[in-house]
Amino acid sequence: MSTIQQTLEKKIVQKVETGSINPYENAMKQLEIAARIIKLDPSIQEILSEPKRILTVSLPIKMDDGKVRNFQGYRVQFNDARGPFKGGIRYHPNVTLDEVKALAAWMTWKCAVVDIPYGGAKGGIVCDPKNMSMGEKERLTRRYTAMIGDFIGPYRDVPAPDVYTDPQTMSWILDTYSQMKGYQVPECVTGKPIALGGSEGRNNSTSRGCIITAREAAKVLKFPLKGATGAVQGYGNAGYWSAVFLSELGVKVVGVSDSKGGIYSKSGINPAKVQIHKDKTGSVVGFEGTEEISNEELLELDVDVLVPAALENAITKRNAPNIKAKIIAEAANGPTTPEADKILQNNKVFLVPDILANSGGVTVSYLEWVQNLNREHWTEEAVNAKLEEKMVSAFKSTFEMAGRYNVSMRDGAMALAVGKVAEAIQKLGMWP
């Protein structure tokens, strides 16, 4: 191990002991574990320990009140050995460079584990979109696109939606990029509206893929989902659709939550009705016939299936011992810390890691990109069938890898993904 890696490992251990590990250190710890499993060449590991490119941009825009505010934006391009960079863009007041770096690394592994020809990237802008008008968000998006425009494109880096960005955000990126090029380039971005070349099935693909992996986990455990109970932390797009798809499999969803709190009902919750309530009130809290619980309490509910669909580091060494779920399918990115992973594994919890569980979104983004490149539009049935095939295949490959090395599903997924990226780097060689 290099001196740099030894120093990084020492810092990670210190952070773990104090309970203040950040997402990028989490991601590097996972890489370290995968490297040991597959006996990765130290020189390749060193390459994979840092992003290929980091863009930090200053984004001055005129607000509705006429004042100019300056926002900070990032685009981290982690690795492109297997294909163009791919990754979402998030708008959030707590965006940090370390967070974006970690997400870019996870995107690299995610694309590899599900076997689509992309590398990994991620973007973020430090802002509070909930307190910005549509016009302010549009000006911010267009400025950001212009600032990173020379580094993105259909064969270079293809952005997508993430936290607090959506098809409208992608439409502004598409238009700005196309105006810069002088012609329409729908394949420069994914997660677009259908009218602009978006794919059928994209809206709920992350959740569909996640619940497919939960279903496959239940098959491995020989555990019937019909009549089982479930809970979902986070009730944005991914959380809502996860609850819907769990219900369709016969799982009784008894708890859901959002940033303002959670709700619980022993008799079960109707996901669609909860969404209507949230649309009216701004939160799931207060839904009729339920009792209010905290996000922490939701994670520790006595349920069979738990879907973390919020932000990073939700499951830590503090609450992991209290988790009772038999299956955890991570719809969020990085919701479980390395220390919590060990606890859950010791407690025989079957955890489907984020780089596998939530790869349905990037898989359908890839399918959207392919459709755009060929100027085709497929049916939702065709898209869902291809997604099903990819997710089942990736689950089986990960499960086999975990069994081969006698490691957890997360370590198996990481070993599979890192191995694929490392092979691509080795085959490409070094130039210049």
| pLDDT the model gives residue 338 | 83
For residue 5, is pLDDT > 60? no
Q: Which pLDDT band holds residue 15 (cuts at 50, 70, 90)?
A: very low
- 206-217 pLDDT tens trace: 999 999 999 999
Instruction: Report how far Cα 175 is from the mean position of its chain's Cα atoms.
Output: 25
pLDDT tens by residue, 281-339? 999 999 999 999 999 999 999 999 999 998 778 999 999 999 999 999 999 988 998 88
pLDDT value for 20: 56
Sign, CA torsion 306/309/310/316:
positive
Give the C-alpha separation, 27 to 25, whole Å. Answer: 5
Distance between CA 407 and CA 422 in Å, rounded? Answer: 20
Q: C-alpha distances in angstroms, 51 versus 22, 236, 238?
A: 16, 29, 27
Q: Where are the beta strands (DSSP E) in 144-293?
A: 157-161, 229-233, 252-258, 261-264, 291-293
Residue 12, pLDDT > 90, answer no
Provide the percentage of residues in the chain whose pLDDT is more than 70.
95
Can you tell me whether residue 168 is helix, strand or coil?
helix
Average pLDDT over the chain reads 93
Distance CA(258)–CA(175), nearest Å, equals: 32
CA–CA distances in Å: residue 198 to residues 78, 241, 368, 377: 25, 19, 6, 8
Closest CA to 420 of 48, 1, 4: 48
Question: With 70 as the cut, is the pLDDT of residue 11 above it?
Answer: no
Encode pLDDT of 209-262 as tens digits. Answer: 999 999 999 999 999 999 999 999 999 989 999 999 999 999 999 999 999 999
Give yes or no for residue 173 having a pLDDT over 60: yes
Quote the pLDDT of residue 312.
Answer: 79
Q: What CA–CA distance (Å, rounded) separates 425 from 265?
A: 51
Structure tokens at 5: 């890696």
Domains of the chain: 51-184 (3.40.50.10860), 205-357 (3.40.50.720)
Give the pLDDT confidence of 18-66 residue by residue, as tens digits.
345 678 988 898 899 999 999 999 999 999 999 999 999 999 999 999 9
And the tokens for 425? 């780097």
Token pair 């420069």 is found at 188
Rounded distance, CA 192 to CA 264, Å? 34
Whether 279 shows a pLDDT value over 90: the answer reads: yes
Position with higher pLDDT, 3 vs 365: 365
| Closest alpha carbon to 75 in 155, 141, 164 | 141
Answer yes or no: are the C-beta atoms of 78 and 121 closer than 8 Å: yes
pLDDT of residue 21: 61
- pTM exceeding 0.85: yes
Residue 30 has a pLDDT of: 87
Residue 97 reports pLDDT greater than 50: yes
| 354, pLDDT greater than 50 | yes
Q: Is the peptide bond before 432 cis (omega within 30 degrees of 0)?
A: yes
Average pLDDT over residues 75-104: 96
pLDDT at residue 4 is higher than 70? no
- For 10-14, 19-23, 152-156, 162-166, which range has the lowest pLDDT when averaged over its residues? 10-14
- Cβ atoms 69, 42 nearer than 8 A: no
Whole-angstrom distance, CA of residue 359 vs CA of residue 365: 10
Is residue 26 within 8 A of residue 334, CB to CB? The reply is: yes
Question: Nearest CA to 147 among 165, 161, 159, 155?
Answer: 159
Q: Of 136, 100, 134, which Cα lies nearest the Cα of 120?
A: 100
Are 301 and 326 contacting, i.e. CB atoms less than 8 angstroms apart? Answer: no
Query: What's the CA gap between 169 and 72, in Å, rounded?
Result: 17
Question: Model confidence at 199, in pLDDT bands (50, 70, 90)?
Answer: very high
Q: What positions carry a catalytic annotation?
A: 122
Residue 23 confidence (pLDDT):
82
Percent of the chain with pLDDT over 90: 90
Question: For 352, how many CA atoms within 13 A lie in the half-sphere containing its CB?
Answer: 36
Mean predicted confidence (pLDDT) in 142-165: 96
Nearest CA to 420 out of 357, 355, 346 is that of 355
Report yes or no: 327 and 221 within 8 Å, Cβ to Cβ.
Answer: yes
Residue 150 in this model has a pLDDT that exceeds 80: yes
